[in-house]
């Protein structure tokens, strides 16, 4: 069970990393894959942005989410 959850978290981290890269390059926001990516990452990023708004154009919310996911992954790995 712990390995499965750890794998899911790792997949989410990859999705988040792709989302970050997409913010640096032009992309088609109507592409179904990109819309799906935003649909799965926005529910986590938006609340974090409300707590820690972008500072001088730099969005630190993905860093906070990566940190939190790392802690969760360690907790899940240690629990199982």
- Where do the domains of the chain lie? 2-79
Nearest alpha carbon to residue 62 among 29, 5, 26, 15: 15
Q: Do residues 66 and 13 make contact, with C-beta atoms less than 8 angstroms apart?
A: yes
Buried/exposed 12-34: b ≥16 CB within 10 Å, e otherwise: bbeebeebeebeeeeeeeeeeee
| 15-35 tens-digit pLDDT | 999 999 999 999 999 999 999
- Please tell me the number of Cα atoms within 13 Å of 75 on its side-chain side: 7
* pTM, full prediction: 0.86
Distance from C-alpha of 53 to C-alpha of 35, rounded to nearest angstrom: 23
Predicted local confidence at residue 7, as pLDDT: 92
Q: How confident is the model at residue 77 (pLDDT cuts 50, 70, 90)?
A: confident
| 21-71 tens-digit pLDDT | 999 999 999 999 999 999 999 999 999 999 999 999 899 999 999 999 999
């Amino acid at each position: 069970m712990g390995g499965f959850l750890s794998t899911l978290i790792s997949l989410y981290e990859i999705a988040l990393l792709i989302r970050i890269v997409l913010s640096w390059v032009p992309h088609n926001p109507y592409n179904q894959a990109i819309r799906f990516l935003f649909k799965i990452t926005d529910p986590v990023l938006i609340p974090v942005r409300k707590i820690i708004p972008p500072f001088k154009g730099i969005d630190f919310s993905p860093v906070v989410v990566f940190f939190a996911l790392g802690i969760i992954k360690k907790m899940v790995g240690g629990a199982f």
